[in-house]
Structure 1
Amino acid sequence: MEIAIVGLGCRFPGARDPLAYWELIRSGTVVFRPIPASRWDHSRFYDPTTRVPDKAYIDKGAFLTDEELREFASLHYGIAPRRIQVTDPQHRLLLDCVSSALQDAGYERRAFERTRAGVFVGASVSEHKEFLLSRIRAVQLFDGAFGRALSGPEADNLRDALIEHVVPMRAFSMPGNLLNMAAAIVAQTWNLGGPALSVDAACSSALVATQQAIVNLRGGQIDLAIAGGVYLNLLPDNLVCFSRIGALSRRGECRPFDAGADGFVMGEGAGVVVLKRLDDALRDGDRIYAVVKGAAANNDGRSEGPMTPRQGGQLEALRMAYRDAAISPTSLGYLEAHGTATTVGDVVEVRALRQLFDEAGWTAGGGIRTALG
C-alpha cells in the first residue's frame, strides 16, 4: 500500500520553511558556524586535542538563531505563557512545524476525522530538562552527593546565586520536558485521537517514527498521520561525549563518503510531514509531494559494539524496504544516504549498498548531513 506525502513543515538553521530548505540544498550552502555564546561559553569546554577529559575538540555546529528559539505564539495555541516558561523549546518548535505542515496540506481549517489522526515523533533527548533540574542538582552538589559537601551561610548564598535565574519547579516542569509529551502536546493542541508517541532510535528516530506512521496507516488504525523529528542542542554534553568517542570532525567539516572524512558535525532543527494513504489522498484531492512505496526497519542484533553498525543488518533493512515497495533497486535514480562521515559508518554503509546494487552498478547518492549536520 502506497503512502502519499501531502504536507511539509520544517525549521532548520538557515531554512525557516521547506522552500528555504530546498534552496539551501540546491545551492550547496553549508550553515556550520561557531557555537553561539548564548548557548554556553564553549571556551570552558573546548580543547583541540583529544587528551583532556570533559572537553570537546570541535567548536562548530549548525544552530538556529536565538530569535527562533525564543519566539513562540503561546496564546495562539491556547497555552499559558507561564507553562511555556518550563516547557522544552523542542515542543514549541515542533508545534510550529506541525502548524506549518497542516497549513501546507490544507488541513488547518479543513474538516477531517481527528479521532483517526495519529502523531509519531522522533526525539532522543531533552537537554532543556537539565536546566530545570539544576536547582535540585545544586542542592545535591552542596550536600556532598557527588563529592565534598559545602555548608554554612556562605555556601547557601553561593548555591542560591548559582541558580537565581532558573525557574522554580512547577506543575508542568516534568510533563513539559518528557519526550513522550512532544507527541502528546501535538495531539492535544489539534485534538487528535489516534496514537501519539515519541520514538528514540538515535540518529534514525525521525525515520523510524515515520515508518511507524506508515505501519499504522497501512493497518487501517488511522487515516492521517503527522510524523517527524526534533532536536535542539542546548548543552555541551553531546559535543563532549561524541568527542570522547571520536565521532566528530576535528576540522569542523562533514564530508560523507570522502577519503578525507573525519566525522560529523552536530546540527539541530525540526521536520514534519503529513501522510495519508495514496488512494485516500487522490480521492480527497490532496496535493501530493511524493509517494512512499515502501518502508522497513530492523536492528543489527549483535555486532562489535552497541554503537558499531553491521553490514549485514543494513543490507537486510535495504532488502526488506525494496521487497515492501515491490520495486528493484535498479529503478532508482538517486539515493539519500545516512552518511555519518565516520570511518566505520561510511565503509559499512557503502559496502551494504554496493552489495545491494552490485548487479546493476552504482546510482547517484548524497547526504544532507554535509550541510546541516
Structure 2
Amino acid sequence: MKFTQFLKTKGAIAAIIMGIFYALAMLGIFLPGYTAIPGNIDKLPIAVVNDDAGEYGAKVADQLQENLPFKEINTDLTNKQALKDLEKNDLALVVHIPETFSADMQAGKTSSSIDFTMNEAGATVVSSSMSSIVTQINNQISAQFSQQTAQGVLMNLHVPEKQAAELAEKIETAYVGNIVTINDIPDGMHHNMLPMFLTMAGYTAAMIGAMQLISAFKENRGRASKTRLFIYVQLAALVIAVVSSLVAAAITYLVDGPSGDLFFSLLGQQILNYMVCFNFTAILIFLVGEGGMILNLPILLMQTIANGATITREMMYLPYEWMSHISPMYYSVQAYFANLYGSISPSPYIWSMVAIGAAAMLINIAIVTFLHKPVPVEELETRTETESIKNAAEVTA
C-alpha cells in the first residue's frame, strides 16, 4: 500500500477532518470569546452611593459618573442595597461617599475617605479590573483635593515654618481612598480557579462516561428492554458520579484545603454536577450516536468562556451569554464560588442545575422512547444461538 492510498482510508480521512474541525472550533470559539477582555469592561454594572449632602460629595459623584468607564452606573440605591447586590455579583463595584465627607474635607480630617467595595468571589477579570480602575480613580481624586488644599496654602504666603509644615502635611493627607474587598479568596491562582476546575473535571468525565455508557446501552439492546437499560445507564452514571466525586473532593482538600464543614456540600454538588452534565451531554449521543461526541466538544469549549469563572454575563458576547443560561457549567461555577468563598446561599444556582438536569433527562427519555426502536429480547437470543451453532460448525469443519 502506498502512502497516498493510506491517506484515502476512512480512518485517515476522518483524522484529517477532525484536525481541521477542532482547529476551527477551538480558535473560532476561544479567540472571539476572549476579545471581550477588556473590551466589554464598560458593560459591568456599578453603583455610586452619595450620602453626603455637602458640596464635595456632589462634586465627586458627578465627576465619577462622567469619568468612570462604565455605561451602567446606578445612583438610586442605598448603600445597604448596593452591598447586597454586590454580594450576589449583580454589581461589580460599589462607590460610597459617606455623609460626613464634605465636613471632614473642610475640617482637614485625614479620616475623610470614599469606600470602593469589590467582591472577590466572582469572575477573576472583574476583581482585577476593578482594582486597577479604583487605583486610578483614587489617584485622580487625591490629586484634585490636594490641589484644592494647596491653593488654600498659597493664599497664606507669610506663615511660620511650623505652620507651613502642618499645611504641607494637610495637602498630602487631604484625601485617602478606602478600598474594601468582601469575600476574600486566599492567595494563589489555584483558589481562584477551583470552582472552574471542579466543574470541568465533572463535566469532562460525564461527557466521556455518556459516550461509553450509551455505547453499552446500544450493545445490549435486546438483552433487556430499553427502559430497563436506560435505568441501568442512569444507575451506572450515579455510581461513577459518587466514586469520581470522592476522588475530586480528596484532591481538593489535599491541595486547596477548604473548610471541613464544606465537605459534604462540595461532595453533593460534585455528584449533582456529574449527573446533570451526564444527561446534558447524553442528548446528542442518544440522538446521533458517537457522532454526538464531535458536537459535544465545541459545546464544552464554548462553556469554558460562558461559565462565568473568567468574565461575567454582562461582558459576554450574545452567543456566550445565551449559552450561560442553559449551561450546567455556569450554575456549577457560581454555586462553588458562593459555597467556597461567598456569603450568599448557593441554592438558586443548585436549583438551576437541577432544572437543567431534569430537562435533559426528560429529553433523553423522549429520544429513547420515540426514536429508538424496540428490539425483542428473543430476537437477539435466537440470533446469538444461531451464530454460536454456525461458529461451532465452522470450527468442526
Question: Shorter-chain-normalised TM-score: which range?
Answer: under 0.3
Q: Which structure has the greater CA radius of gyration?
A: 2
TM-score (norm 1): 0.26
Q: Going by fraction, where is helix more abundant, 1 or 2?
A: 2
Q: Going by fraction, where is strand more abundant, 1 or 2?
A: 1
TM-score (norm 2): 0.25
